[in-house]
Amino acid sequence: MAEYKGVMTYCEITEGKLPSISNELLGCGRRLADDLGQELCTVLVGSDIGSLAQEAIAFGADRVYVVDDPLLKEYQTDSYVSVMEKVVRQVMPQILILGQTSVGRDLAPMLAFRLDTTATLDCVDLAIDPDTKLLLHIKPVYGGNAHATFTCDSYPQIATVRVKVMSPLEPNASQRGEVITIDAGLDPSAIRTRLLKRVKEEEGGVRLEDAQIVVSGGRGIGSAEGFKQLQELAAMVKGAVGATRPPCDNDWVAYNLQVGLTGKIVNPDLYIAIALSGSSQHLSGCAHSKSIIAINKDPKANIFNQADFGVVGDWKKVLPAFRDKLKELLSE
């Protein structure tokens, strides 16, 4: 395995820009590369994306591989897996990290098996073992009730990293790096799955992932009608509404409001948890919030173990009074 060298990040591109996760990965990759005394490179895959290379360098990459092809305009599993397979076989990094995003969770396992290695998904920390120099993949298991540390016996060691757990570096615009173009060389017969349509289901107002205040409800809200009260509060504090899984399963709110392990990961300044018990799956998506307040009628609800402030009581009585008092205080 000696010929494998260096750390590579997969630089996701959203609507022509580098999303935060791409910079978070560069920050994390920089640290791993420095610990190994090796280089950090990153891969940009897409169409008309060359201008992003300098940005990736500013955020910490020593070298940027650019695969630019009109056929790569949108993420599609088969084309992206085959492009990444080509890049990895050519560059042979020891470590490859991707984001735990819709793209990363699809691309990483497929690519890993194509390369006859394996990936560890949804890592919340990565480190280099000082003795073996192997990558330590640290990830929640059992719905977040335990944290496992894995090592991988085959190269490249591949991991996806949860969004918002790593910090990007301060960008340095004068940083220099190398930009290398790699030809996509797509074989049309290898593209089996075709994307027919992409449908956006954005709610109005603040995006859940970007919101500084999130008002979330659980099973106890009981109806779509009930969620209107949460929407009112969210609108008042310029926040966004979130939910646990049962309200989504029951169609009280859209699925894209689900916060948790298989939904969205949020880290607002304030998370207001209403009538939700605090299952591990849900907490995986919001435990990084700066502050949490909880309203629940069950004093033993797990959410109180995570909350800074809590009220034990029926949300239908507590919430309107909270909202009215808050409105009064905010207008002062």
Partner 1 sequence: MKIIVCMKQVPDPEAPPSAIKVDTEAKRVIMPQGTPPVINPFDGNALEAALMIKDAQGAKITVISVGRNLSKAVLRKSLATGADELILLEDDAFEKLDSYATAHILATAIRETGEYDLILCGRQAADTDAGQVGSGIAEILKIPGITAACKVELSNGKVRVERVVSDGYEVVEAPTPALVTASSEIGELRYPSMKEVMAAQKIPITVRSGQELGVDVSRLKRLNLVRLSPPPGRKTECQFIGGETPEEAGANLALKVREAQLL
Q: Provide the CA 251 distance to its chain's centre, in angstroms.
A: 25
DSSP letter string, 267-303:
--SEEEEES----HHHHTTTTT-SEEEEEES-TT-GG
Contacts of 308-316 spanning 24+ positions with Cβ under 8 A: 315/220, 315/221, 315/274, 315/275, 316/226
Q: Which of residues 187-226 bind partner 1 (CB under 8 A)?
A: 192-202, 209, 213
162 binds partner 1 (CB under 8 A): no
Q: For residues 84 and 107, give the distance between their C-alpha atoms in angstroms, rounded to a whole number.
A: 9
x/- site string to partner 1, residues 95 to 114, per CB under 8 A? ------xx--xx-xxx-xxx
Minimum CB distance to partner 1 smaller for 173 or for 196: 196
273, β-bridge pairs: 216, 294
Least spacing, CB of residue 42 vs partner 1, in Å: 21
Q: For residues 156 and 36, give the distance between their C-alpha atoms in angstroms, rounded to a whole number.
A: 14
77 binds partner 1 (CB under 8 A): yes
Using CB under 8 A, which of the segments 57-65, 89-97, 152-160, 180-188 binds partner 1? Answer: 152-160
Minimum CB distance to partner 1 smaller for 51 or for 145: 145
47 binds partner 1 (CB under 8 A): no
- Candidates 145, 167, 172, 223: give the one binding partner 1 (CB under 8 A): 145
Q: For residues 277 and 294, give the distance between their C-alpha atoms in angstroms, rounded to a whole number.
A: 9
Q: What are phi and psi of 242, to 5 degrees?
A: -125, 180
Minimum CB distance to partner 1 smaller for 51 or for 113: 113
Least spacing, CB of residue 233 vs partner 1, in Å: 10
- Candidates 151, 167, 181, 223: give the one binding partner 1 (CB under 8 A): 151
Q: Which of residues 52-71 bind partner 1 (CB under 8 A)?
A: none
